[in-house]
Amino acid sequence: MYESFGIDEKIISLVPRVDEEIKNELAKVDDICTFNSFKVLKAFQNHQVSDVHFNSTTGYGYNDIGRDTIEAIYADIFRAEDALVRSQFISGSHALTVALFAILRPGDTLLSITGKPYDTLEEVIGIKDNSSSLKSFGVNYEQIDLVNDDFDSEKICKRLEKSKIKLIEIQRSKGYSTRKSITIEKLEQVIKEIREVDKDVIIMIDNCYCEFVDKKEPVEVGADIVVGSLIKNLGGGIAPNGAYIVGRKDLVNLAAERLTVPGEGKEVGPSLGMNKSLLQGLFLAPSVVSSSLKTAIFTACLLEKLGYKVEPKYNDNRADIVQNIEFGNDQDLIKYCQGIQSGSPIDSFVVPLPWDMPGYTDKVIMAAGAFTQGSSIELSCDGPIRPPFIAYQQGSLTYEYGKLAIMKAASRLVK
């Protein structure tokens, strides 16, 4: 079976050793999955989900009980006061943008304490010129870089004591960088330190790729507002688009009034037939996230055995579903991404090539054989063609499909 799928003998013989080595790590993932499944099931029952909630609304979307119940369930799962979960958010970046524009006012200062934020936010903030940026409205931006992958607590506290900061942004997942992602423990620690000097500063978390990777979510350790995408972890591979914002009621309300209309807020927004998909995706999310984590762990162990540097290592504590593989040369990076594409269910016959992309300085190669365009809870892998030639791999709807694709991609490296 493996041979007919183009998997090399060397990989076939390595896999049993990998399976044995990662056994304990997979068991830990199962434990987290059980915990989060309980959380989700309990929330569905607490809010008495019934097939009336699979309703659809059009036009203004008044009185959409399915939509309102989904938001109550999200708030419950995140232990938050309120939630906004909408397909009118076209991406995670859009939800982050809405949250920032909702809270910040001219003269306010936004402070990032995880260094430069995700690429798509550069024009939103005004780091890169854009006439619709926060900067163009007179919102100031400052950033404090991480030091050795940890928060620069001293600098952060000094800055907070100097003059008023309105909002602190913390991006947990690494994005296109080589730093480690931020675990919930690290987040808890830095929030404690921040609260000792400033009780009021609004702490906003970019939670993309981190949901259900651990047993706690950011609100439980003191975050005020948390944002993420539904074509990542919480959509469970079923949600066709959308994003969420959860947290303090007043802040979620501001975000709703920014997304829709001041005075209408959460009351409007048609669900257009998506309620059932959002519920079903959320229901599957703990298990799909666990499949992604297992695929990442398997990848880390196998690729390390083949001599490549990986981050995180197979037995490291994980904060998100992203796996970095450092190939050291462009050819291996390209071969691996092409291998992932050829192991996908959709467009397996397509060969991705490094290409110029808007917003990137280097050529980028992207493998994505996904049911939903751009979905990265489905197995996907991409990397800019520049030293040290790192692939960023994430997702897989099931561990079995993930494992097969990784074995196929790795075979191209040993041939």
Ligand X SMILES: *Cc1c(COP(=O)(O)O)cnc(C)c1O
Place of tokens 């940026």: 133
Nearest to ligand X of 120, 317 (CB atom): 120
171 scored as a contact of ligand X (CB under 6 A): yes
**Binding segment toward ligand X, per CB under 6 A, in 202-210, 257-265, 267-275, 280-288:** 202-210
Q: Which residue has the tokens 């309990």?
A: 42
Shortest Å distance, C-beta 267 to ligand X = 26
| Pick 171 or 275: Cβ nearer ligand X | 171
From start to end of 286-385, where are the E strands? 309-311, 322-326, 364-368, 380-384
Residue with Cβ nearer ligand X (229 or 292): 229
Strands (E), 249-389: 309-311, 322-326, 364-368, 380-384
Q: Return d(Cα 24, Cα 131) in angstroms, integer.
A: 52
Return the residue of 66, 175, 269, 286 that touches ligand X, per CB under 6 A.
175
The tokens for 408 are 């196929």
The half-sphere exposure of 69 on its side-chain side, counting CA atoms within 13 A, is: 23
Return left, alpha or beta for 110; rule: phi > 0 is left, psi -120 to 50 is alpha, else beta.
beta
- Binding of residue 208 to ligand X (CB under 6 A): yes
| Residue 384 in contact with ligand X, rule: CB under 6 A | no
Shortest separation between residue 254's beta carbon and ligand X, angstroms: 20
| CA separation for the pair 341, 409 (Å, rounded) | 8
Q: Site residues for ligand X, window 74-93 (CB under 6 A)?
A: 91-93
Asked whether position 173 contacts ligand X by CB under 6 A, the answer is yes
- 375 contacts ligand X (rule: CB under 6 A): no
Measuring CA to CA, which residue among 305, 316, 319, 328 is closest to residue 406? 305
**Residue 383 binds ligand X, judged by CB under 6 A:** no
Residue 114: exposure state from Cβ atoms within 10 A (0-12, 13-18, ≥19) = buried
The least CB distance from residue 207 to ligand X, in Å, is 8
Instruction: Return the closest-CA partner of residue 40 out of 290, 293, 209, 225.
Output: 290
Q: Scanning residues 90 to 129, which ones bind ligand X (CB under 6 A)?
A: 91-93, 118, 120
Q: How far is the CB of 14 from ligand X (least distance, A)?
A: 30
Hey, which residues between 293 and 332 contact ligand X (CB under 6 A)?
none
Least distance (Å) from ligand X to the CB of residue 171? 5
Report the residue closest to ligand X, judged by CB.
Answer: 92
> Which of residues 8 and 211 has its CB atom nearest to ligand X in the complex?
211
State how beta strands 109-112 and 140-143 pair.
parallel
Phi then psi dihedrals of residue 141, to 5 deg: -130, 135
Position among 229, 277, 324, 338 found at the interface with ligand X (CB under 6 A): 229
- Kind of pairing, strands 225-229 and 202-206? parallel
Residue 181 engages ligand X in binding (rule: CB under 6 A): no
CB under 6 A: which stretch of 128-136, 141-149, 201-209, 275-283 binds ligand X?
201-209
Our CB check for ligand X shows the closer of 151 and 209 to be: 209
Residues that bind ligand X (CB under 6 A): 91-93, 118, 120, 171, 173, 175, 206, 208-209, 229
